[in-house]
Amino acid sequence: MTTTTHLVTGHWIGGEIVAGSAGTIPVVNPATGETVAHTPAGTAADVDRAVAAARTALPGWAATTPQERAEVLRRLAAGLAARQEEIAAAITAEMGAPISLSRTAQVGFPAAVIESIASLAGEFPWTEEIGNSLIVREPIGVVGAITPWNFPLQQVVSKLAPALLAGNTMVFKPSENAPLTALILAEVAADAGVPAGVFNVVYGTGPVVGEAISAHPGIDMISFTGSTRAGRRISAVASETVKRVALELGGKGANIILDDADLPEAVHKGLMMAFSNGGQVCGAWPRMLVPAARQDEVVALAVEAARQYTVGDPTDEATRIGPMASEAHRVKVNGYIERGIADGARLVFGGPGRPDGLTTGAYVRPTIFADVDPDSAIAQEEIFGPVLTISPYADEEEAVAIANGTQYGLTSGVFGAPEHALAVARRLRVGQVDVNAGHWNALAPFGGYKQSGNGREFGRFGLEEFLEIKSIQR
């Protein structure tokens, strides 16, 4: 594969590139181990400058109409679509997503989300009358956004689009492992008409820049996507200034296959939801729960389907699973595979180590375990890799109990006769359930129960996260 070097010369603050002053952080291609870029190692002083720019820009941006802001968002979506190939190549280089997935999910979904948020401008109840009160929805102020590496553009767009439509300004910290799309987004936003200071980017690490954003008294809200551990820390730091915190955290989704399901469809689509993006998806379904009497059928179907998931060079159009996003993450995922074997789960596909023919790079073997104890580490902890666990259940009550039996509550799937599957879906303690692989809806709320977070993204529910509510009695 050919490695392209990407140029990032500074933070984006107040509508221009601002040089860093505290060294740099390398960006490493996980497929090759080569450094493809360096970004500034941001400091608390850089955050101060970005917050000052955002606060200066806030009154003017908040004074525009929702319709004017929606037009800017539509131009932003068009600008991202025009740079699809550049963005896709950057994401593939920085975190290893297969190039075909980078074009579709990594770039296509963000553009669709922006369009869906822009469509709300004319129908959203910005003001309403309740008795003798006028209810006014206003921007919350300056939003601090902190995002992970698995969907670098999607994660920030899911925050930026509703925040901007609501009239807020933003200070954004991308993951230091996948920062390359942040500057492209800033450039496209400026070309779309986002005024200087409305969107600012500060590169750096979580312990330095993330902490500074979370604690900053000039930031009114934190919107974070990432691990549950990091979400706890952000909540604690942000509480000192009593700012609003919206968290989209980890997941351990269950795919419940009922006894009246279309078994081949349930297994094939369930495996896709476990292996997509190399399993590095918070909303994945890494647990497959199956009737005990049909586990052998499910295993045979899953193994057959898994053979179609080609692992290799992420720039190859035929690749379905690229490397893990970093060497450190490869070691973590591989450790879970070894732990599953040690704890007695039945290995039916894959296993520890790199795939045959791949002696370097952050690659793991797509792996399937059967007869998995629902209380074991591989069934309880977020692996964030292409590892599927299959657990048999005796009856529907046990299936629901297993599905609900983790600290997480983000997503799940249910396959079965439509009304039967819907009834089971209602019993799951998660924020989003797909029944028989229901189609993705950009206007439906996304977010978690329990330790998968609080708040919602997408559609009207996501927009409301970024608004304050004022009541005026007359």
pLDDT of the residue at 14: 98
Residue 176 falls in the annotated catalytic set: no
Residues 260 and 406 in one domain: yes
Q: Which of 94, 115, 176, 282 is catalytic?
A: 282
The sign of the torsion formed by the CA atoms of 108, 231, 59, 183 equals negative
Beta partners for residue 39, in sequence order:
25
pLDDT of the residue at 8: 79
Residues 371 and 387 in one domain: yes
Residue type, 295: Q
Domain of 356: which CATH number? Answer: 3.40.309.10
CA distances (Å), origin 7, targets 10, 82, 90, 148: 9, 20, 11, 20
Residues 245 and 258 in one domain: no
Residue type, 14: G
Residues 231 and 327 in one domain: no
Q: Which two tokens stand for residue 246?
A: 């919206």
Helix axes 396-403, 418-425, angle to 10 degrees: 50
The sign of the torsion formed by the CA atoms of 99, 101, 104, 110 equals negative
In a domain, 2, yes or no: no
Q: Please state, rounded to an integer, the average pLDDT across all residues of the chain.
A: 97
In a domain, 75, yes or no: yes
pLDDT at 4 over 90: no
In a domain, 4, yes or no: no
The sign of the torsion formed by the CA atoms of 6, 11, 13, 19 equals negative
> Distance between CA 145 and CA 108 in Å, rounded?
21
In a domain, 164, yes or no: yes
Q: Which two tokens stand for residue 312?
A: 């290799």
CA distances (Å), origin 342, targets 18, 322, 373: 51, 26, 12
Residues 283 and 206 in one domain: no
In a domain, 401, yes or no: yes
Residues 225 and 270 in one domain: no
Question: Residue holding tokens 């601090």?
Answer: 144
Closest by alpha carbon to 160, among 123, 102, 126, 201?
Answer: 201
In a domain, 111, yes or no: yes
Q: Sorting pLDDT into bands at 50, 70 and 90, what band is 1?
A: low
pLDDT digits (tens, 9 = 90+) for 23-71: 999 999 999 999 999 999 999 999 999 999 999 999 999 999 999 999 9
pLDDT at 219 over 80: yes
Q: Which two tokens stand for residue 152?
A: 């670098």
Q: Which of 94, 115, 176, 248 is catalytic?
A: 248
Residues 243 and 352 in one domain: no
Q: Which residues contact 284 (CB under 8 A, 6 or more apart)?
A: 251, 253, 273, 274, 276, 411
Residues 32 and 100 in one domain: yes
State residue 320 phi and psi, 5-degree precision.
Answer: -110, -25
pLDDT at 141 over 70: yes
Closest by alpha carbon to 365, among 285, 303, 411, 299?
Answer: 303
421 compared with 21, residue with greater pLDDT:
421
In a domain, 318, yes or no: yes
Closest by alpha carbon to 194, among 39, 50, 58, 48?
Answer: 58
Beta partners for residue 134, in sequence order:
129, 472
Residues 106 and 149 in one domain: yes
Residue 442 belongs to what H/E stretch? none
Domain of 460: which CATH number? Answer: 3.40.605.10
Question: Residue holding tokens 């590496």?
Answer: 149
Q: The sheet that has 142-146: what strands, in order across it?
A: 16-18, 11-13, 199-201, 169-173, 142-146, 221-225, 244-248, 453-454
DSSP labels for 142-167? EEEEE--SSSHHHHHHHHHHHHHHTT
Q: Total domain count for the chain?
A: 2
Residues 245 and 323 in one domain: no
pLDDT of the residue at 123: 95
CA distances (Å), origin 97, targets 94, 140, 255, 279: 8, 35, 24, 11
Q: What residue spans of 63-220 are helical by DSSP H?
A: 66-82, 84-95, 99-101, 109-118, 152-165, 180-192, 211-215
Query: Whole domain around residue 72: which residue ranges?
Result: 11-249+451-473
Residues 234 and 189 in one domain: yes
pLDDT digits (tens, 9 = 90+) for 410-450: 999 999 999 999 999 999 999 999 999 999 999 999 999 99
pTM of the predicted model over 0.85: yes
In a domain, 6, yes or no: no
Residues 286 and 225 in one domain: no
> Distance between CA 299 and CA 302 in Å, rounded?
5
Q: What mean pLDDT do residues 364-377 have?
A: 98
CA distances (Å), origin 202, targets 43, 68, 260, 422: 9, 27, 51, 44
Q: Which two tokens stand for residue 216?
A: 């900053």
pLDDT digits (tens, 9 = 90+) for 175-217: 999 999 999 999 999 999 999 999 999 999 999 999 999 999 9
Residue 457 falls in the annotated catalytic set: no
pLDDT digits (tens, 9 = 90+) for 289-315: 999 999 999 999 999 999 999 999 999
